[in-house]
Amino acid sequence: MFFTQFKNVQQALSKNETSVQKIVEHYLKNIAQKNEQLNAFLEVYEQEALNKAKEIDEKLAKKESVGKLAGMVIGIKDNLCYTNHPVGASSKILDGFVSQFTATAVQKLLDEDAIIIGRLNCDEFAMGASNENSSKGLVRNAANNDYVPGGSSGGSAVAVQADMCFASLGSDTGGSIRQPASFCGLVGSKPTYGKISRWGLLSYASSFDQIGALTHTVEDNALLTEIMAGYDNNDATTANLEVGSYVPLNDIKQPLKIAYIADCLHHEGIDPAVKKATLEVIEKLKAQGNQVEEIAFPYLDYMVPCYYVLTTAEASSNLARYSGLTFGYRSPNSVDLESTFKKSRTEGFGPEVKRRIMLGTFVLSSNHYDAYYTKAQRVRRIIKEKTESILQEYDFIILPTTSTPAFKIGEKSSNPIAMYLADLFTVQANLTGNPALSIPLAKHPESQMPFGIQVIAAHHQEKKMFDFAFMLEKECKG
């Protein structure tokens, strides 16, 4: 019972070939068999999921109306709130914390009869590109357990990759959905900033974070995005725009005008197999009559430094609330107010989170604010304006999702700079707020690990982006 398309789930249910309870039992069985090795799930809501499945089955038997997602089993990243369930961002600092409310994005899925089967491992506070930074242990790639799944939404990717749930939710601050999607052979999307409410998402960097989905197909990703999208009174950054219908997807009208960034394909760090496969897609698009042109983007090497200056500054501010005073972990060694702050944070945060907090505090300090933070904001504006000017002339930008396929566990963990550069091709969409998505492209001829190709579209052009990706998905499979 390996479903990769939700319409097949719906067809099987309508023909009484299966039941929602059997679907949930299938995933629970796989979790029991695989999760000890992969470490994707931190907690499984077994009885809740079975009870919800029974409820939906009863509605179906009585021919009562059910939600659009009836029969879809979803895992959620451990930085998304779900009422009366623990949420911890895979950090010791939030040990024992139970959410008092449900994230808007999660609630919208529940309202359509989705079943939440559990919470998923991630890099601590979504800071990482390999899922080796979790206080709950690293996550392993299901295609080869010696390799990382990508991060920070590594658990979300592996849960879908290993058929432990149908789809999952992650968060994307600099590529944290798209990069693991690439490493695990999935579709992963980051919508336009403000398209999906961040209410109930534990913040890393508030002007970058976005919630998105990981699925097997573009169409299912579009469906989940459509349902989660929309204005939310609880999040002032959400766009008050009509969402419209993303599904069904249609073959996009051609010819199109598509740009690809020369600086990416000619970058010294790109794997030859990734470059070759990307160029082959470009040639296919040209053969269909599309105008595909190489463009210069001279800011590529400035994007990662700009991203890390700004995100660490925001993290320094956002993570100040985890003090050990009112919730979460409190050091047993504290004796007064000052030692409670110092010891709880020192013991509760992991090395990577502490590194980013300290870097962010440094760039926000009075002596360095103008030299780093102010300058990075100016660079962000330049990158945003350049990207917008490209997308005024072209329908889409295409580029590799990552410069390499998944790397081995431990290969980059001792070198933070090398790890940060894993975000090289994904941070652009977060700096600019544009929607972007990764779809599976090929497998590396040596390691046989998957990698993806990425599409960036203009702001709030999700429908157009999904339609193009739907066409591209067929080309890549072909």
CB atoms within 10 A of CB 134: 28
For residue 267, which amino acid is it? Answer: H
Left, alpha or beta for 357 (phi > 0: left; psi -120 to 50: alpha)? alpha
Cα–Cα distance measured from residue 337 to residue 324, given in angstroms and rounded to the nearest whole number = 10
- Check 152, 153, 182, 189 and give the catalytic one: 152
Is 152 among the residues known to form the active site? Answer: yes
- As given in the structure block, the two tokens for residue 208 are 């970058």
- The answer to whether 224 and 215 are in contact (CB under 8 A) is yes
List of residues 6+ apart from 371 with CB closer than 8 A: none
| DSSP 8-state class, residue 371 | I
Amino acid at 29: K
Cα separation, 131 vs 193, whole angstroms: 24
Torsion on CA atoms 194, 197, 203, 209, rounded to nearest 10: -40
Q: Widest CA span of the chain, in angstroms?
A: 71
Amino acid present at 236: A
477 noted as active-site residue: no
Up-side HSE of residue 268: CA atoms within 13 Å toward CB? 1
Among 139, 208, 219, CA closest to 172: 208
Alpha helices in 320-406 (DSSP H): 337-348, 351-364, 375-393
**Cα distance between residue 475 and residue 251, in whole Å:** 12
Strand positions, DSSP E, 199-303: 210-215, 257-261, 291-295
Catalytic, 77? Answer: yes
- Rounded to 5 degrees, φ, ψ at 461 are -105, 40
DSSP H or E segment with residue 473: helix 462-477
C-alpha span between 161 and 195 (Å, rounded): 26
Catalytically annotated residue among 176, 189, 323, 438: 176
CA of 436: how far to CAs of 179, 210, 262, 368, in Å? 11, 11, 18, 33
Could you say which of 19, 34, 52, 77 is catalytic?
77
- Segment holding 54, helix H or strand E: helix 46-61
Strand-by-strand arrangement of the 167-172 sheet: 41-44, 115-120, 73-77, 167-172, 210-215, 187-190, 436-443, 450-456, 396-400, 257-261, 291-295
Residues 6+ apart with CB under 8 A from 162: 30, 34, 38, 40, 142
Active site positions, annotated: 77, 152, 176
